[in-house]
Structure 1
Amino acid sequence: MNTSAVEAEKDTVSADGETDVRRRARIRLELAASYLQRGQTSVALEETRQALTTDPRFTDAYHLRGLIYMQMGDLNLAEENLQKAQGMRPNDPDIMHNMGWLQCQKQQYAQADELFDRALSIPTYMDRNKTLMSKGVCLVRSGKPDEAEPVLQKAYEFDAANPILGYELAQLKFQKGDAKHAQFYIRRVNNGNFATADSLWLGIKVERALGDQPAVRQLAGQLHKRFPDSRQALAYERGAFNE
């Protein structure tokens, strides 16, 4: 290789060690992530394709493409891309987490639980609470509420403002006949900015079980105002509280 070629090669590497190829691929991936946040999955997918055309060894591009396919509901292509990313970076807890959540979507609950535990076993993992929540939700789906409850409770201790955790714990408590504790959790959800038709409906059933009719009427008013055509609003009209 002549001197000018060596110099040209050096010019493709930035001060932080990133090659020009990787930099161009990373810019594409940042665009893909932005489009995904806005719900433009097709455009996001095209940007990941461009990133991988530029740099076929870009692990993060396979990872993000897996998440895009998961959001699009194509679990097989999601798994294919997440497996590719995991093969390239096998000890990445974020990839383990997302692969675990994918397995949960596919009702492969044992595999999901194993992947969540592997992610949680990595001391440097920063998003442990996210994985605890997903592990707990997946245990509920797999029909193991008694195992799920302490996991969700542990996650709630660190993230009490999380409406998903509040809802899941309220539902677990209510199903076990503990309406009083269910009320504590679901009221925090419904008094915040993230109430849903599901959370309002659960709140109605909890307050009804405790005999608080004013609270029932107040929640029913919210349900009809915010989600008038929802399945939950129609169930309330029918008095179908045990569906």
Structure 2
Amino acid sequence: MTWAWRWCALWMGMVLVTLQLGCTTQGGRMEGDSVWVTPSDEPEARRRARIRLELAAGYFEQGQATVALDEVKQALNADPTFAAAYNLRGLIFMRLEEPRLAEDSFQQALRLAPRDGDTWHNLGWFYCQADRHTDAVQAFGRALQSPGYRSAARTWMVQGICQARAGQRLEAEQSLIRSFELDSGNPITVYNLALLLHQRGESERARFYLRRLNNSEFANAESLWLGVKIENRLQNREAAQQLATQLLRRFPDSREASAYERGAFNE
């Protein structure tokens, strides 16, 4: 079963790279500090490390993991206490399929910045990928409890996907609904929530969520095919045919279009 939308994998590589690089350049409180920090307060070593890390993040987003890793090494040479560099290093090692090194990097980041919600989130996704679902939910919980954490919607979403993969469907529904409440426009949340409900036999509720997605610019082959199956189960033949027409016209070479032509509604 496909719990994470195919371009959710993108998102899992993309949104997970939330690096708190702006705290010293935009002004703010550094963790543990009681005074307001401005750009002129940034130590020279941290400034050099931050510039390297920004380069590393850019290479990582372009899929150049080994180049990104080299830039992270340069960042840590400049400032070995830069927690965000270890966080990104963990993501790079995940992409390079080096799980031990990835976990070590996330743990080092948390030793330096134990209240960083983004690192806890990334560690949670790492645990989920390793089928360590209990550890994953605990890490997501730490992210959600982090002071000033701004990405609660994505963490509830990823937690829901992780719980679904673990077969915890009720918990997954609760997490995905919480994500939807915080960000109703996230197509990955909407798709996975609709999929979960449809697989539980609650196709009317699934249709409620999925319709807004299939009526938006974010509709893709997977969402349209799920819509066809939902409408078919609900015996709404006209709506099913309309969605199928869109699927075949817009994504004729997709595996979903092939499945429709085979009549594989129960796969």
TM-score by length of 1: 0.87
How far the C-alpha of 1:123 sits from its partner, in A, is 4.1
1:159 aligns with 2:187: no
Q: 1:134 to 1:187 in 2, by over 3 A?
A: same
The match for 2:263 among 217, 228, 239 is: 239
Instruction: Name the residue aligned to 2:135.
Output: 111
How far the C-alpha of 1:39 sits from its partner, in A, is 3.0
- Please report the RMSD computed on the Cα atoms of aligned residues, expressed in angstroms: 1.9
The match for 1:190 among 207, 214, 236 is: 214
Q: 1:115 to 1:15 in 2, by over 3 A?
A: closer
Deviations 1:178-236 (A, max 9, x none): 11111111111122122232212111100111222232222223323333332222211
Instruction: Name the residue aligned to 2:164.
Output: 140
Kept after mapping to 1: 8 A contact 2:72/2:85? yes
Instruction: Name the residue aligned to 2:251.
Output: 227
Show structure 1 runs of 4+ deviating over 6 A.
Answer: none
How far the C-alpha of 1:145 sits from its partner, in A, is 0.6
Instruction: Name the residue aligned to 2:113.
Output: 89
State the alpha-carbon separation in 1 of the partners of residues 103 and 221 from structure 2: 31
How far the C-alpha of 1:72 sits from its partner, in A, is 4.3
Question: What does residue range 54-69 of structure 1 map to in structure 2 within 5 Å?
Answer: 54-69=78-93
The structure carrying a bigger helix percent of its residues is 1
Deviations 1:126-164 (A, max 9, x none): 222221111111111110111121221122112111111
Question: What does residue range 167-178 of structure 1 map to in structure 2 within 5 Å?
Answer: 167-178=191-202
Aligned length: 230
State the alpha-carbon separation in 2 of the partners of residues 217 and 40 from structure 1: 42
Instruction: Say which structure, 1 or 2, has more relative contact order (CA 8 Å, 6+ apart).
Output: 2
Deviations 1:39-64 (A, max 9, x none): 33333222212212222222111111
Instruction: Name the residue aligned to 2:242.
Output: 218
- Runs of at least 5 residues in structure 1 that lack an aligned partner in the other structure: 1-13
Kept after mapping to 1: 8 A contact 2:115/2:147? no
Instruction: Name the residue aligned to 1:7.
Output: none
- Give the share of equivalent positions with the same residue, in percent: 50
How far the C-alpha of 1:125 sits from its partner, in A, is 1.9
Deviations 1:61-112 (A, max 9, x none): 1111212233444433322211221122222121111101110011100000
Q: 1:74 to 1:185 in 2, by over 3 A?
A: farther
- Runs of at least 5 residues in structure 2 that lack an aligned partner in the other structure: 1-37
State the alpha-carbon separation in 2 of the partners of residues 67 and 227 from structure 1: 32
State the alpha-carbon separation in 2 of the partners of residues 76 and 44 from structure 1: 18
